Amino acid sequence: MVSLPSMISTKDFVSSKFSPIEGKTTWASPSNIALVKYWGKYGDQFPQNPSLSFTLSKCITTTTVAFKPKGKSNDTFSFSFLFEGKNEAAFHPKIETFLKRIVPYCPYLTEHHLAISSSNSFPHSSGIASSASSMSALALAIASMEREVSPTISSDYFNQKASFLARLGSGSAARSISGPMMSWGETPSVAHSSQAYGTQLFGKIHSVFETFQDTILIIDKGQKKVSSTLGHQLMENHPYAVTRFAQAHEHLAKLVTILSTGEMDDFIALVELEALTLHALMMASNPYFVLMQPNTLAVLNKVWAFRQDTGLPLSFTLDAGANVHLLYPEEDKTAILAFIQTELSVYCQDGQYIEDQVGAGAKML
Ligand code: DP6
């Protein structure tokens, strides 16, 4: 287990209480796709290993928080939540849990009523995990409340705090604040990396990755048989946990080099190994899970054959479900999209896939 680095302390993110204010803030925050996977956590949502992701640009949650003084002073939260214009009570417990987790750092929350409304750019039933985009959008909106009273805080601090809060909602959400790539978790390979918040990847990034494409094949809209909470728990007594966490550190160090050199064969080998390792860990958990569907496997075989036949650098990664993220350089987009349309869309539920690409991170609207 890695402890918090000595230089940063979670205390640095405790805001002071301020007199309640009225206002409104809207953020559009993207999803992200991990190349080195976060799988295993401890304590207050700290990752067992560092992870690194591409920030996406089209899979976005847009969240508005209208805030006003609550009136009564007590320790309870007052909020309403509309999802795509409809009152969605089913989301209330998740939001309440999030507010409880972050209130030690945002004590002003109990002084305000929050009218939260949210919508996704991608279909709700597509099986795309929305916790990264939704939790980061909400965290950014809440961090903006305190920026209203402290407008001089630096953008670095603002982003760190937003990522810190987002992490407490969903670990991967910590990596949705900036782009084109973010890491999360302490590693000597990324300057200023932290267990507590995500870090934008600076330094030399090969231009091929700045416009990298991610076409998401929707293999199973009802995916997610294993909740991420259970999934992370499965790593607690996993026979391969120690080796896996060490491997993730090595992979992240290698990936940082690959991202700067643009060495495509190394990129493909590492990213596919990470994806299959995630699924192998689930298959070797107790209880065990197979999250791939027959069509997932059919797509992987097609991708390998296509690469062999054409020499084009098409690769895949997977999240904790059946859907497949196809990764490739923008310059090969025409040929690869034609291949997806003619040969792979038949494996997608209702022929559905989403064309996304690497993006610049969240935006205030
Ligand atoms: C497989 O961030 O969804 O997508 O922290 O419990 O909300 P919680 O988990 P979550 O886990 C993401 C797991 C993953 C890999 C990754 O995104 O790094």
Residues 140-188 have pLDDT tens digits of 999 999 999 998 999 999 999 999 999 999 999 999 999 999 999 999 9
Confidence of residue 4 (pLDDT cuts 50, 70, 90): very low
Q: What is the arithmetic mean of pLDDT over 296-315?
A: 98
Sequential DSSP letters for 218-238: -S-TT--SS-HHHHHHHTTT-
Asked whether the CA dihedral 46, 55, 306, 352 is positive or negative, the reply is: positive
* Token output for 196: 């507590």
Q: What's the average model confidence in pLDDT over 69-91?
A: 90
Amino acid found at 246: A
Cα–Cα dist 333/319, whole Å: 22
Greater pLDDT, 6 or 347: 347
Sorted by where each begins, the domain ranges of the chain are 12-206, 209-357
Q: pLDDT band for 223, please (50, 70, 90 cuts).
A: low
Q: How confident is the model over 268-294, as a mean pLDDT?
A: 97
- Ligand 1 surroundings by CB, under 6 angstroms: 34, 37-39, 45, 51, 131, 170-172, 228-229, 232, 278, 319-320
pLDDT value at residue 6: 42
Q: Tell me which of 32, 176, 214, 228 to substitute to probe ligand 1's pocket, judged by most ligand atoms within 8 Å of the beta carbon.
A: 228
User: For residue 214, is pLDDT > 90?
Assistant: yes
Residue 311 pLDDT > 50: yes
Q: Kindly provide the residue ranges of all beta strands, DSSP E only, lying in the chain, ordered along the sequence.
A: 23-36, 41-42, 46-47, 51-69, 78-83, 86-87, 112-120, 181-184, 198-200, 213-217, 315-318, 324-328, 353-357, 363-364
As a whole number of angstroms, the distance between CA 309 and CA 197 comes to 42
Tell which wins on pLDDT, 311 or 221. 311
With CA atoms as reference, report the closest residue to 39 among 223, 277, 259, 239.
277
Question: What pLDDT is stored for residue 129 in this prediction?
Answer: 65
3-state class (DSSP) for residue 116: strand
Identify the CATH class of 12-206.
alpha beta
* Residue 127: pLDDT band with limits 50, 70, 90: low
Overall average pLDDT of the 263-283 stretch: 98
| pLDDT value of residue 228 | 85
What is the mean predicted confidence (pLDDT) over 203-209?
92
Q: Which CATH number does the domain 209-357 belong to among 3.40.50.300, 3.30.70.890, 3.40.50.1240, 2.30.110.10? A: 3.30.70.890
CB-based contact 276:304 (threshold 8 Å): no
* pLDDT at residue 190 tops 90: yes
Tens-place pLDDT, residues 49-59 = 999 999 999 99
pLDDT value at 125 more than 70: no
203: Cβ contacts below 8 Å, ≥ 6 apart: 191, 260
Q: What pLDDT was estimated at residue 1?
A: 38
- pLDDT-derived band at 126 (thresholds 50, 70, 90) equals low
At 31 the three-state DSSP class reads: strand
Q: Tell which one of 32, 33, 38 to mutate to probe ligand 1, the residue whose CB is within 8 A of the most ligand atoms.
A: 38
- Give the pLDDT confidence of 318-356 residue by residue, as tens digits: 999 999 999 999 999 999 999 999 999 999 999 999 999
- Owner of token pair 């991990």: 34
> Measured in angstroms, how far is the CA atom of residue 54 from the centroid of ligand 1?
14
Q: Please, which residues have CB within 8 angstroms of residue 287's CB and are 6 or more apart in sequence?
A: 234
Percent of the chain with pLDDT strictly greater than 70: 95
User: For the chain, what is the radius of gyration of the CA atoms?
Assistant: 20
Is the pLDDT at 5 greater than 50? The verdict is no
pLDDT above 70 (res 2): no
Looking at residue 177, its pLDDT comes to: 98
Helix (H, G, I), strand (E, B) or coil at 166: helix
Tell me how far the alpha carbon of residue 135 lies from the centroid of ligand 1, in angstroms: 12
Residue 316's pLDDT band (boundaries 50, 70, 90)?
very high
Report percent pLDDT > 90 for the chain. Answer: 86
Identical fold at 12-206 and 209-357?
Answer: no
Please report the pLDDT score of residue 199 as a whole number: 97
Could you identify the atom of ligand 1 that is nearest to the CA of residue 319? 1
- With cut-offs at 50, 70 and 90, classify the pLDDT of residue 202: confident
* Cα 149 to ligand 1 centroid, rounded to whole Å: 33
- Contact status, residue 182 vs residue 34, Cβ threshold 8 Å: no
pLDDT at 7 over 70: no
Between residues 221 and 104, the one the model is more confident about = 104
Strand partners, 26: 64
Distances 100 to 5, 44, 84, 96, 105 between C-alpha atoms, Å: 25, 12, 24, 6, 10
pLDDT score of 11: 75
Q: How much is the mean pLDDT over the chain?
A: 93
